[in-house]
Amino acid sequence: MPFTYESTNTTSLLTITGAGQGSSILDGAGVSSVISLTTQANDADVKVSQVTIQNGKGGAVAGLRIVADHGKVALEKSEIKNNIEGTSVGGVF
């Protein structure tokens, strides 16, 4: 089952931090995208660190997609592998 997070008043930083590559695994099980985020507030930053993102499958994005208008995106100490999509980006967009 997909995880969904929605906040209408966060304008600073969203952080997803795991226990390390191979320890914290976000797995799409070959049936869905793993992480797809869109910020709507100016200057909203997103940081993803110390996770493995794997086995995502989607029509446009499989592994990790982050759209942050005027914000910063950081991907640190993470592994992205085995993501497949049909039309656009497999690993990171």
User: Residues 15-30: pLDDT tens digits?
Assistant: 889 999 999 999 999 8
Structure confidence at residue 6 (pLDDT): 61
User: Residues 70-85: pLDDT tens digits?
Assistant: 888 899 999 999 988 8
Structure confidence at residue 36 (pLDDT): 84
Phi and psi, residue 42, nearest 5°: -65, 145
Residue spans per domain, the chain: 18-85
**Quick check: 88 pLDDT over 90?**
no
* DSSP type of residue 89: B
Q: What's the rounded Cα separation, in Å, for the pair 5 and 48?
A: 15
Phi/psi region, residue 66 (left: phi>0; alpha: psi -120 to 50; beta: rest), is beta
